[in-house]
Structure 1
Amino acid sequence: MTHLSGPIPASLANMSKLEMIYLVATGLTGVVPSFGLLPNLRDLDLAYNHLEAGDWSFLSSLANCTQLKKQNKIYGIIPSEIGNLRSLTILYMDNNLFSGHIPPSIGNLSNLQILSFALNDLFGEIPDYIGNLAQLIEFHIDGNNFSGSIPSSLWHWKHLEKLDISDNSFFGYIPPAVGNLSSIRDLIFARNNFFEHIPSTVGNLSNLSILSFAQNNLFGHIPEFVGNLVKLTNLFLHGNSFSGSIP
């Protein structure tokens, strides 16, 4: 990979016909410029560089890029302007140093299919307005400092296939409404503080391939319905207080 070792050339942001910008791991430094003059921009990937957000004006400028479908990882506090990128279908912001809360404006991104905030320093509760993202196929928030319970709006996501909320501080019981996630394939709740029993409605999730409730505070018997999950390839229940025999 060629190393540019410097700021992003200003001339790049003026090439109005550009549709894709891939400058991954090229040694870029400095502040991310405005891309608002690139109306045809569809994909922007500046990952694995040493860029700075500055005053975040570059993010606001992306609201003019109405064709933008995919944006790369960025770092810092998530600004409310993120909600202006209404055409986004994929947003990876994982493995960075984001802190603070998920801004309410995330609920404006109704076209999102994949959203990942994994491996950051975000905290607080998952806001209820996250339920507005009805088209989500994947939602990853593992490896943060979220707490509280899961908002009820999340259980209405009919298209969701992957849900990973592991390695946080969620607590409470796992609600029966989890059984409404009819398309779910990967359900990963490991390393949190959930307690009581696994709800029987999990047995309705006939497409499950990965199920992990490992390292929580669950107890009781391993439920019989586990045997009905015929597509299951990975089952992780260790680190709990289950008793009785294996069904």
Structure 2
Amino acid sequence: MDNAVVPQIVADLNSERQALLDFAAAVPHIRELNWNVSTSICSSWVGIACNKNGTGVVSVHLPGVGLFGPIPADTIGRLNSLKILSLRSNSLNGNLPSDILSLPSLRHLYLQQNNFSGGIPAFLSVQINVLDLSFNFFTGRIPPTVQNLTKLTALYLQNNSISEPYRYQPSKTQALNLSFNYFNVLKGKAESEKPKDFGSGVQEAEKNKLFFFEGCSFTFDLEDLLRLRLKLKELWNSLQGGSGGRESVVVKRLKEVAAGKKDFEQQMEL
């Protein structure tokens, strides 16, 4: 390694060490983290993992350690090499700092089962694959910038207080759960905003994907209900007319769903 590069690497790692120390000092925690400044951040710090070269922190894994209170900005948000952040099952609250979601290397973010509130930040890392903000108190809308996340494969926002209609069109997303929120279908839509049919979009664009919307507080106008009635009638007729009877058609449809075993079992337990 070039001797000129070594001081910069050391400086970057020291900066990330300080960012973690600032986080630990600002956020109370029940369990001791034992982050000792005299030991190696990459091999001795609980919940911390570095890349193979030991040049940066790539994972912070602190689920259920009794963290509570808000996360200050300019702490974890300074970990520019961070790929995985898991702070699930704690008691963190307040607004989620936008500098965390916009970390350039972030791929997996697990913040479920906390007490975060406010809106979901609009600036999201384009590298993110899994985003789990479920079981919190987020409000407002799902930011439209979500549709720019071309690498997103799983989005979990269930059990929040999100109230504005959902307009995101998934691309590579294979798991999507928005259940138990407060979405409403807006009334008085402009004529140019005619809603899509209930059936075709799911069967074509979203085939073999796992979506959950149960528990949402939807309201519908008369036109919506009539359209739904027609679609249900068409579905019933197709099930009755399919070869092999209703059961074989339903089983065939279920076989085509690319749901992971864990996701399926979790839903069956509800």
Scaled to the shorter chain, the TM-score interval is 0.5 to 0.7
The answer (yes or no) to whether the contact 1:137–1:160 under 8 Å persists in 2 is yes
The answer (yes or no) to whether the contact 1:206–1:231 under 8 Å persists in 2 is no
Structure 1: gaps of 5 or more residues:
1-50, 74-84
TM-score computed with the length of structure 2 as normaliser: 0.58
Q: Deviations over 1:205-233 (max 9, x none)?
A: 3211111110000122769644412351x
SS at match of 2:147: helix
Q: Deviations over 1:5-48 (max 9, x none)?
A: xxxxxxxxxxxxxxxxxxxxxxxxxxxxxxxxxxxxxxxxxxxx
Q: Structure 1 residues 91 and 197 mapped into 2: Cα distance closer, same or farther (>3 Å)?
A: same
Could you tell me which residue of structure 1 aligns to residue 162 of structure 2? 194
C-alpha RMSD of matched pairs (Å): 3.0
The answer (yes or no) to whether the contact 1:68–1:88 under 8 Å persists in 2 is no
More strand by share: 1
CA distance in 2, matches of 1:175, 1:193: 14
The answer (yes or no) to whether the contact 1:120–1:144 under 8 Å persists in 2 is yes
Higher mean displacement: 219-228 or 163-172:
219-228
Q: Structure 1 residues 116 and 127 mapped into 2: Cα distance closer, same or farther (>3 Å)?
A: same
Counterparts in 2 of 1:168-247, with a 5 A limit?
A: 168-199=136-167, 202-203=168-169, 205-220=170-185, 225-227=201-203, 228-232=205-209, 234-242=210-218, 243=220, 244=224, 245=228
The answer (yes or no) to whether the contact 1:130–1:153 under 8 Å persists in 2 is no
SS at match of 1:214: coil
CA distance in 1, matches of 2:201, 2:45: 39
Structure 2: gaps of 5 or more residues:
1-29, 49-53, 186-194, 233-270
Larger radius of gyration between Structure 1 and Structure 2: 2
CA distance in 2, matches of 1:86, 1:149: 34
CA distance in 2, matches of 1:112, 1:61: 20
Report percent identity of matched pairs: 27
- Which amino acid in 1 is paired with 2:215? G
The answer (yes or no) to whether the contact 1:148–1:170 under 8 Å persists in 2 is yes
Q: Structure 1 residues 189 and 132 mapped into 2: Cα distance closer, same or farther (>3 Å)?
A: closer
- Which amino acid in 2 is paired with 1:65? S
Could you tell me which residue of structure 2 aligns to residue 87 of structure 1? 56
Q: Deviations over 1:139-173 (max 9, x none)?
A: 0110000000011222xx11111001000000002
SS at match of 2:215: coil
Kindly indicate whether residue 160 of structure 2 is the aligned counterpart of residue 160 of structure 1.
Answer: no
State the Cα distance separating 1:181 from its structure 2 match. 1.2
Q: 2:78 aligns with which of 97, 105, 108?
A: 108
Could you tell me which residue of structure 1 aligns to residue 40 of structure 2? 65
- Which amino acid in 2 is paired with 1:229? E
State the Cα distance separating 1:187 from its structure 2 match. 0.4
More helix by share: 2
